[in-house]
Structure 1
Amino acid sequence: MTYCVGMMLRRGLVFMSDTRTNAGLDNISTFKKMTIWEEPGERVITLMSAGNLATTQAVISLLDERSKLPEDRTSSLMKAPSMFQAACMVGDTLREVIGDLTDGGQRADSGFDATLILGGQIDGSPPRMFLIYPEGNFIEAGDDTPFFQIGEIKYGRPILVRAFDPDLTFESALKLLMVSFDSTLKANLSVGMPLDFFCYETDSLEKRHVGRVTADNERFQTISKGWGEALKQALDTLPDVGMESI
């Protein structure tokens, strides 16, 4: 399993993903689930993946190979005229890979499913972000849906719903995501460190703020411990519930 989050802020886009994959309790590995394509000054496109590892790696490999084709505007992310067209390309590629793996044409078998978050900016248009389903269709983030999650989403969602604000700084957004991921890490062994992140600043058209948070990262440990203590203190401040009132 995995956990990935993409958020739209007024300042730009923020992405974070874990790196754990597993095929049983005795077969746990680390794989990067965030891929970034960049043409400085022209476009930056980020893709995060959750689901069957063979599917997601095949999709990324195909997109990467096709993006190196200098004149192919129909299947190259580096030639897509808009982020919408890029989302269409990624959706078509995902559907193609799942169809090949299942030998069933357009039908997505659950054993080969994958879900993707695609976000970025192409010069001349604003940043956009999409959630792409195994069938190849997708939805776009907006004011009503400013963040997307894929993978093991339920444990880290409550803090995002309560604390997300489009005016967050990148620093505050990363802190919020660390709390969300910490909650997921503590609740589900199929999500694991290290965590990859990318903060994209609107109109920069550059891959600037990219990093990895390891298990021994001092700042992450401080946030994890502080969040746990803050929850306990908050619980203590709530009024007691008498048995007779239940």
Structure 2
Amino acid sequence: MTYCVGLRLNRGLLFMSDTRTNAGVDNISTFRKMQTWQGEGRFLTLLSSGNLATTQAVVSHLEERTKAAEDRSPSILEQPSMFQAALTVGECLRETIARQKGEGQKAASTTPFNATLILGGQIEPGPPRLFLIYPEGNFIEASDDTPFFQIGETKYGRPILVRAYDPDMSFEAAIKLLLVSFDSTIKANLSVGLPLDLLTYEADSYAPGEERRIEADDPYFAQVSEGWGEALKNALESLPDFVLD
């Protein structure tokens, strides 16, 4: 399992993903789930959740198309808009899943090859845009009503996003918000874990902003985690006790 978030702000876009791919007492591994592409007047970020073989294949195909000859197009760096880029990624995802389902005697009925993606970025002259791409290749776009997307283990970290998100918030405040969301998820589910990958994108910059890996010993993450836990306890104690008859 995994947990990834793409957040749309008035200032730009914010992305965060964990790196855990397997979980168990003696079976923990990590893999980067955030990929970026940059060209003149364009910058794109892809977050992935689901079958690792599927997501690796999709990223590899997209990466090859950005570097190969014309007959290997379309490349997401050649698309005229983020909408067209989302179509290209969706088609690649759908084709990859269909191809892998056809391999092996029991693949179609017993092995889950599905994956879900978040694609965000900006292609000149359009604004920054954010998309959630489903295994079938279709997608929806973030809006004022749905300003962020989550994939993977979403339920534990969603309440804080719903309650505290503000489109006018700074990157610094939004990063703090996402760290609380990830901390809640990590504490509730072993299949999500540190390190975390973080990326900010400033509108009209066409380049990555803050790009960082947050390790397990990161002092700021520890401060946020401990502070949030203490704040929850204090908030609970400040509420009136239930009165028994």
TM-score by length of 2: 0.94
What does residue 11 of structure 2 align with? 11
Moved more, 235-244 or 147-156: 235-244
Distance 1:163 1:23, change over 3 A: closer
Identity of aligned residues (%): 64
Moved more, 65-74 or 5-14: 65-74
What does residue 29 of structure 2 align with? 29
Contact 1:73–1:80 under 8 Å retained in 2? no
Structure 1 position 208, deviation (Å): 2.4
Contact 1:55–1:113 under 8 Å retained in 2? yes
Gaps spanning 5+ residues in structure 1: where? none
Structure 1 position 133, deviation (Å): 0.3
What does residue 128 of structure 1 align with? 129
Contact 1:163–1:176 under 8 Å retained in 2? yes
Distance 1:190 1:115, change over 3 A: same
CA–CA distance in structure 1, aligned partners of residues 79 and 68 of structure 2: 12
Aligned to 1:200, what secondary structure does the other structure show?
strand
Distance 1:222 1:126, change over 3 A: same
Contact 1:157–1:180 under 8 Å retained in 2? yes
Q: When the two structures are aligned, how many residues end up with a matched partner?
A: 241
CA–CA distance in structure 1, aligned partners of residues 109 and 197 of structure 2: 28
Structure 1 position 28, deviation (Å): 1.9
Per-residue deviation, residues 123-173 of structure 1 (Å, max 9, x unmatched): 111000100000100000010100000000000000000000000100000
Tell me how large the CA RMSD over aligned residues is.
1.7
Code of the aligned partner of 2:228: W
Per-residue deviation, residues 188-218 of structure 1 (Å, max 9, x unmatched): 0000100001100000111121111111000
Structure 1 position 12, deviation (Å): 0.1
Distance 1:78 1:70, change over 3 A: farther
Structure 1 position 119, deviation (Å): 0.2
What does residue 98 of structure 1 align with? 97
Contact 1:35–1:48 under 8 Å retained in 2? yes
Contact 1:12–1:202 under 8 Å retained in 2? yes
Distance 1:166 1:174, change over 3 A: same
Moved more, 25-34 or 42-51: 25-34
Code of the aligned partner of 2:10: R
Structure 1 position 110, deviation (Å): 6.5
What does residue 237 of structure 2 align with? 236
Gaps spanning 5+ residues in structure 2: where? none
Contact 2:8–2:148 under 8 Å retained in 1? yes
What does residue 163 of structure 1 align with? 164
